[in-house]
Structure 1
Amino acid sequence: MFVDFKEIPEDAKVWVYPSSRKFYANEIEPLEEKVKAFISTWKQDDDTFKASYKILYNRFIVITADNVTTPLKGADIDASVSFILGLQQEYEVELLDRMNVCFKQGEFVQYKDLKDFKKLLKNKALTGKSIVFDNLITTKEDFENFWKIPIEDSWYNRFLK
């Protein structure tokens, strides 16, 4: 069942899908409708299941599900991945590639492959204070506290040396 993001408990599972490009303004509303429709029908047979989403910076799709009250099974995860794969194809973006880095440069969110990100660090285009998005976080609490952090406080800090 779809609920407001605030109603999801802190220990709920979170998936962050960074898009290889910003979604265009005319894509946001239809994208939100598709994500909400998926969540509304995801585990529809279980009245206690709660899930939600956010679309942030016109680039990130964040899905959260209370998997403590209602554990997710392999088929549930497969359904979500299949849904995301469909969005990738429809919008012609990458959403599942974990070898890319998202970070802020000024007010803009950039998306670079890891090799280019390392070059930016080496060339001092980014510093340890630059904000990076840790899209590998797994809980809502981590999302709220550690998703958007300085590079020096993230696992990317090993590339600062």
Structure 2
Amino acid sequence: MSTQTTLSTATLPDSARCWVYQAATEIPEALVPAIEEALRAYTSHWESHGSILPAGAEILHNRFVLIAVDPRGDSVCGRSVDASVRLMRDLSERFGVDFFDRMQLAYLKDGEVRAAHKDEFAALYAAGEIGDDTLVFDNMVQTLGDWRKNWLKPLKESWMYRMIAD
């Protein structure tokens, strides 16, 4: 049985499934090694349908956790996906970092990741704090290829734009 010992998703193909978890606040630097170790332990033994699959995870901008798995032409079983969600819930509880506040929308401003509640987004737009070309993080991506090409995109090209255009 082979295992993956790296966290990197760089070697996984564009077809790999992925999930992006956004922390409600920046992940403290002191917690990063412990979270990385938990992610490494999980992804090095990602099992689906009785097989170990290539998987990886990364902490990005100290704000996001990217988890990816290459199903190698098969589907990833629901049980293994559920286990990855349980892992993230456990990390949330253990380290006090909320990875499940789906109402926070993240964007780049002056090279810094910022987040606002979805209800505040239209007000930020109206005030000029964010604009059509503000880069936003689309955590709804489902494959690594989509993440590589479309995770960070201008607001006007994202699903979030509908919330402010109305």
Q: Give TM-score scaled by structure 2 length.
A: 0.89
Write the letter of the residue equivalent to 1:96: F
For this pair of structures, how many residues does the alignment match? Answer: 160
Distance 1:18 1:128 in 2: 22
2:162 to 145, 151, 158: 158
2:113 maps to 1:127: no
Q: Is the 8 A contact 1:14 1:64 kept in 2?
A: yes
2:46 maps to 1:46: no
Q: Is the 8 A contact 2:23 2:101 kept in 1?
A: no
Q: Is the 8 A contact 1:20 1:93 kept in 2?
A: yes
2:147 maps to 1:143: yes
Q: Which runs of 5+ in 2 are unaligned?
A: none
Report what 2:36 is aligned to: 32
Q: Which runs of 5+ in 1 are unaligned?
A: none
> Secondary structure at the residue paired with 1:90?
helix
**Which 4+ stretches in 1 moved above 3 angstroms?**
none
Q: Deviations over 1:62-81 (max 9, x none)?
A: 00111243421111111011
Q: CA RMSD in A?
A: 1.6
Report what 2:100 is aligned to: 96
Write the letter of the residue equivalent to 1:125: E
2:84 to 74, 80, 83: 80
Q: Is the 8 A contact 1:14 1:139 kept in 2?
A: yes
Distance 1:71 1:157 in 2: 32
Q: Give TM-score scaled by structure 1 length.
A: 0.91
Where is the helix percentage greater, Structure 1 or Structure 2? 1
Distance 2:86 2:163 in 1: 33
